[in-house]
Chains A and B, each alone.
Chain A
Amino acid sequence: MRQQNLIVIGNGMVGHHFLEQLAESGQADGFHVTVLGEERHIAYDRVHLSEYFQGKSADDLAFSTADQYAQWGFELRLNTAATAIDREAHTITLDSGETLPYDKLVLATGSYPFVPPIEGNDREDCLVYRTLDDLDAIREAASRSNTGVVVGGGLLGLEAANALRELDLDTAVVEFAPRLMPVQVDEEGGGILREKIEELGVQVLTGRVTQRIEAGTNARHQMVFQDDRLLETDLVVFSAGIRPRDELARDAGLTMGERGGVVIDDHCRTSDPDVLAIGEVALWNDSIFGLVGPGYQMAKAALDTLTGGDRAFTGADMSTKLKLMGVDVGAIGDAHGNQNPGARFYRYTNGIAQEYRKLVVSADGKQLLGAMLVGDNSYYDTLLQYALNGLELPDNPESLILPASEGGAPALGVDALPETAGICSCHNVTKGDIVQYVHDGYTSVGDVKAATKAGTGCGGCAGQLKEIVDHEMAALGMEVDNSVCEHFQYTRQELEHIIRVEGIHDFHTLLKNHGHGLGCDICKPAVASILASTWNEYVLNPEHVGLQDTNDTFLANMQKDGTFSVVPRVAGGEITPDKLITLGEVAKEFELYTKITGGQRVDLFGAKLNDLPSIWQRLVDAGFETGHAYGKALRTVKSCVGSTWCRYGVQDSVQLAIDLEHRYKGIRAPHKIKFGVSGCTRECAEAQSKDFGVIATENGWNLYVAGNGGMRPRHADLFAQDLDTDSLIRFVDRFMMLYIRTADRLQRTARWLENLEGGLDYVYDVVVNDSLGIAEDLDNQMARLIENYQCEWKTTLEDPEKLKRFRQMINDDGDDPYVVTVEEREQPRPATAEEKLERIPAVSV
């Protein structure tokens, strides 16, 4: 039997799917297949194109390889475009001039990004977002740019905007319609979507018609809008919709749609039965389907048309569920409700959680015609089932879009993170990965940890990991267990209440009356912290000693080689030359590695357990106190030099920093606490990245709260302005006490505030207006904590019993022979495993 010549023009997603289906159908032998692809890459996953910017390579995204095509017996010609079809001669012409004969032709040429015909649209760095090559061009241009604008606020536009944002450009989206994603969402939904996207730092300009693009003053270009307003930008990406790549078909005289697209029937045949069209180039029932699902269905129908099967294309559901910059958007069926006269609506708007949901139901209230979701797609699957299967709606359809549990809105903190946000940098796990595992049934932090390895490296991401797992589980309607651990069925806050109300002073009593088992490394330090911040007793009292993390037990931070670091307090970063000399002498005597920390003090590393008391004796004698680098407690108050020396300083920031540091030192909290005090608005102390930031003004101090550096930086929020020192301190006292009482374990102020219902306004009300009537209580508790301060090292040195703990071995006073250092840059550092092998005498292990 003679093989038919089958030519497939276009090696995109749908064309590839067609070929894969053909190969798998076992009927490929009937055809001599030639595949033409204009791009230089073999078909790849365009839907996940953006992942190219997140580290995926072209190979990762590719669906196949040239070898695979060869094995299938298909001739693949990449970098080759068809330029004409001669239907009479049954040939096509290539850009090389070559002609190829065909018996059957499949058009799978997809579509191209529409670039509005505005003056200047061809300027340098005016790009589109469709192919790998486009992304290469964007990346290259971005490396030379500070700002970027996406023209078009639809699905692809927002995806492009996210990419620009992730390329560190100041990004704006310009949309011609009055709202974002006009196809998927209505005005109200668009408003919420806009808020969410603006919160991610992307500027949104709607209802803007770009007149022209011309040379800019500060940036490469400026966009001129119809109202003559200007927007400067270095880079422009057009994403103003797609147009079918139908030029070959048009030139060949095939029947076309009014607004483009090659008309096909249910069997994907064009007006010429020897020419088929599939994917985004095809127009079926007056519709172009800009999604890959319908394209795949067309590919299957076309295959059957060629091989005598009976699958036909009869339309496709265009419901979509997306996550754009971490924002859920869902549109089901007639989401706007404008295709069904008489349709009725239910709407749910939550301006706090930024969620919007809408149901479109039939006039009799029995059928779901459509639905729209912004902010939370967890409702999508159920709604889709109702719409697709025509299920009869319950009596109160609104229940389908009301929050599943009245028990409070889901945490906004992690919710606002995009799916792609890296959570665990040790094991490269994103929020999306974690969410996926939860959706796949890994429904405890432990399960997700085991599956993703997130949290098993440095452990620094544990808090966020738990937040995401809890949040996702809550979103899925599953019960979230907020117990501290298996030994207590209580949250940290509940335990705090119990301890305070019942006046409990030790772990044992708490466990006996309110928990079970022996406790563990989660609940013990958590309870130790609560006990400390409630009663502020010496942490090494016998009843507390076993509760403390190693660092607290030995009042020093353990390092990777088992030795410890020593960090004396240097309040405000101010230190006398004599004290500096002492630090140097101690470091020399005990052979310690010395480093200036990021917190304006000095860290001495490599102290052996049995040397810690002698080291501290020297330091205490010289007037140093413990710096609590080991504790979940106040760390440092960073200061700048302020009005004393600096020509710009307007207040004495050093004095305030020292005062604050001495006031709050030693207070145990759910997590560490940092302050910064800057002497003027230039902010050299980086106060806005601290839990408490203070910036001097002409009239006093501005107080900022809940900033964070570290893993997920957060700019502090302005809490109050132009405060005198007393008010400042009063507000900090109360704010801190409220945080200590109500935060979860290992939750910094930033995450606490983000997750707190009512947010900053609520706290302000409690702290400043005493809305809960607890201000006095908070003041008193703080006063008691301050009063009970002691330098733990000083106390320890006075008690020989306590000092007994600082022995590596009870029956040997020597050092641990396994601790080995080598010299580097004139200081000691821990030996590597290999270096150790050479230096430690062989041991029978």
Chain B
Amino acid sequence: MTQQNEWTHVGSKADLVPGAGIGARVGDRQVAIFHIPELEQSLFAVDNYCPISGVNIIARGIVGDIQGEPVVATPLYKKHFSLLDGRCLEDDSHRLRTYAVHLDGDQLQLAPQDQGQGAAA
């Protein structure tokens, strides 16, 4: 597997909240990072911007699964977005961008999804 991501350092392991999300800035974008310790692939990152409400709040949503697919529920209108590919389960006209995310030692790093293997690969 080629590792050609341009990783951006956004924080540290201690910033993660198990079972919940946090927000981080990458350039002029906000990204929501979720930590689901129950899963082998336990980190997920998607846009923090909710296209339904037009507000940066995805990180504040409750995470869980719908029929096995990890999802986040948008806090304002309770729609579900897949953490694997960012699509909205109730309305396929909405999709969140996904990002690659990993821990490099203690460092929490993000990279645009389209440049490397996905968080969900």
Interface size class of B (residues with CB under 8 A): 35 or more
**Contact yes or no, A809 B67, CB < 8 A:** no
Tell me whether A560 and B76 are in contact (CB under 8 A).
yes
* B64 pairs with A520, CB closer than 8 A: yes
Does B88 belong to the interface (CB within 8 Å)?
no
Q: Are B15 and A520 in contact (CB under 8 A)?
A: no
Min Cβ gap A602→B in Å is 24
Tally of chain A residues near chain B (CB < 8 A): 42
B15 x A810 contact (CB < 8 A)? yes
A450 and B23 CA atoms in complex are apart in Å by 31
Find the residue from B22, B30, B62, B90 having the highest chain A CB count within 10 A: B62
From the candidates A545, A550, A845, name the one contacting B19 in the complex (CB within 8 A): A545
A546 to B77, CA, bound (A): 18
**B118 near A: Cβ within 8 Å?**
no
Nearest-CB residue, chain B, relative to A519: B64
* A124 close to chain B: CB less than 8 A: no
Whether A558 lies near B19 (C-beta < 8 A) is no
Q: Which of B54, B73, B77 touches A520 (beta carbons < 8 Å)?
A: B73
| B66/A520 in contact, CB under 8 A | yes
Query: Smallest Cβ distance from A799 to chain B, in angstroms?
Result: 14
Stretch at the interface among A414-422, A718-726, A790-798, A811-819: A811-819
Other-chain contact of A517, B20, B56, B64, B80 (Cβ < 8 Å): B64
Residues of A72-105 at the interface with B, using a CB-CB cut-off of 8 Å, are none
**What 0/1 readout, one digit per residue, does chain A (825-837) give for beta carbons within 8 Å of chain B?**
0000000010010
A548 to B21, CA, bound (A): 12
Partner of B71, one of A520, A549, A560, A818: A520
Q: Which of A474-492 contact B (CB under 8 A)?
A: 486-487
Report B60-85 residues with CB < 8 Å from chain A CB: 60-68, 70-71, 73, 75-78, 80
A518-B36, A519-B64, A546-B19 known; A810-B24 Cβ under 8 A: yes
Given A524-B62, A549-B75: A816 and B30 interface contact (C-beta under 8 Å): yes
Q: Is the CB of B67 within 8 A of A558?
A: no
**B residues 8-33 with Cβ under 8 Å of A?**
10-11, 15, 17-20, 22-25, 28-30
- Asked whether A810 and B17 contact (CB < 8 A) given A550-B61, A558-B75, the answer is no
Residue B121 at the chain A interface, CB threshold 8 Å: no
A810 and B22 within 8 A (CB): yes
Interface mask (B98-112 → A, CB under 8 Å = 1, otherwise 0): 000000000000000
**Residue from A517, A525, A804 within 8 A of B62 (CB atoms):** A525
Complex CA–CA separation, A372 to B19 (angstroms): 57
With A and B bound together, what is the CA distance between A550 and B50 in angstroms? 14
Task: Check if B53 sits within 8 Å of A520, measured CB to CB.
Answer: no
Confirm or deny: A521 has a beta carbon within 8 angstroms of a beta carbon on chain B. yes
| CB < 8 Å neighbour of B25 from A459, A487, A809, A836 | A809
| B73 CB to nearest chain A CB (Å) | 4
Set of chain A residues within 8 Å of B56, measured between Cβ atoms: 562, 808, 816, 818
Residue of A nearest to B53 (CB): A560
Does A424 count as interface, using CB distance less than 8 angstroms?
A: no
Contact of A833 among B20, B36, B54, B64 (CB under 8 A): B54
Nearest 8 A-B pairs (CB), nearest first?
A546-B19, A520-B64, A521-B73, A562-B55, A550-B75, A546-B20, A521-B62, A518-B65
Could you list 6 examples of A-B contacts with CB < 8 Å? A521-B73, A542-B18, A558-B60, A561-B55, A562-B55, A833-B54
Extra pairs beyond A546-B19, A810-B15 (18, CB < 8 Å) = A487-B65, A518-B36, A518-B64, A518-B65, A520-B62, A520-B64, A523-B64, A542-B17, A545-B17, A545-B19, A546-B62, A547-B62, A548-B62, A549-B62, A550-B61, A558-B60, A560-B53, A810-B24
